[in-house]
């Protein structure tokens, strides 16, 4: 299965991605994690990305797209993958379309984790990651509304919407059930 997960920061997308990746036996590709690892190791990508992560801004598409292209070229994703945090805007979705076309494969579904903004802001304030200060959280929500949410229209017809309020188990059950039914 080839899946894209979409949802506002704090929707529990990363946690769900872990669970679904285990249950479905496909690698979890988180661009946020890839960036954080690159920042930690001070690689060329990390040096370019750090200021954007710290501010809650999107890393420029040129940097992001190349990182994803390389990751999707690896052998372990030949049987499927779960993309978490990419694409983040419609331009990246176009690039993903091109990458998958080059590989001769297609997405099976886009899973949307649906939860109200005030709920996710509360959750993020409680999480305490380096980029979880209130200003940065609000900026990341704004970017989600303006740049990422339009993906739901771009992928119209392929989107499976999951109510993302509940326990981790409840939400992953909903997602697995919806994926099996699709």
Query: Does 17 engage in binding with ligand AMP (CB under 6 A)?
Result: no
Contact map string, positions 144 to 163, toward ligand AMP, x by CB under 6 A: --------------------
- 16 binds ligand AMP, rule: CB under 6 A: no
Q: Which stretch binds ligand AMP (CB under 6 A): 28-36, 73-81, 114-122, 174-182?
A: 28-36
Stretch that binds ligand AMP, among 50-58, 113-121, 162-170, 173-181 (CB under 6 A): 50-58
The Cα 155–Cα 159 span in angstroms is: 6
Residue 9 backbone dihedrals phi, psi, to 5 degrees = -50, 130
* DSSP structure string for 143-176: HIIIIITHHHHHTTTSEEEEE--S-HHHHHHHHH
Comparing CB distances to ligand AMP, the nearer of 107 and 173 is 107
The only residue of 5, 58, 96, 115 in contact with ligand AMP, by rule CB under 6 A? 58
Pairwise CA distance, residues 164 & 58, whole Å: 24
In the complex, the smallest distance separating the C-beta of residue 172 from ligand AMP, rounded to whole angstroms, is 18
Q: How many residues does the chain have?
A: 182
From the CB of 88, what's the least distance to ligand AMP, in Å? 4
Residue 151's nearest CA partner among 182, 181, 107 is 107
Does 35 interact with ligand AMP (rule: CB under 6 A)? yes
7 belongs to the binding site for ligand AMP (CB under 6 A): no
* Cα-based torsion angle of the residue sequence 115, 39, 125, 8 in order, rounded to the nearest 10 degrees: -10
Our finding on whether 59 is near ligand AMP (CB under 6 A) is yes
- Cα within 13 Å of Cα(156), Cβ side: 3
Q: Which residues pair with 4 in a beta bridge?
A: 83, 110
Residues at the site binding ligand AMP, with contacts judged by CB under 6 A = 9, 31-32, 35, 52-53, 56-59, 64, 85-86, 88, 92, 140
């Amino acid at each position: 299965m080839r899946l894209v997960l979409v949802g506002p920061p704090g929707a529990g997308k990363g946690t769900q991605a872990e669970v679904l990746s285990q249950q479905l036996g496909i690698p979890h590709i988180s661009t946020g994690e890839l960036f954080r690892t690159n920042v930690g190791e001070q690689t060329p990508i990390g040096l370019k990305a750090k200021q954007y992560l710290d501010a809650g801004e999107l890393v420029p598409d040129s940097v992001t797209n190349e990182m994803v292209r390389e990751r999707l070229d690896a052998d372990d994703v030949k049987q499927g993958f779960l993309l978490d945090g990419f694409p983040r805007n419609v331009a990246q979705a176009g690039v993903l379309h091109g990458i998958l076309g080059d590989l001769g494969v297609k997405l099976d579904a886009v899973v949307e984790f649906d939860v109200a903004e005030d709920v996710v802001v509360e959750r993020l304030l409680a999480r305490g990651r380096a980029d979880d200060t209130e200003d940065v959280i609000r900026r990341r929500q704004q970017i989600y509304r303006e740049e990422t949410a339009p993906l739901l229209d771009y992928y119209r017809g392929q989107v499976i919407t999951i109510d993302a309020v509940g326990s981790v188990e409840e939400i992953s059950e909903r997602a697995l059930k919806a994926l099996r039914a699709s």
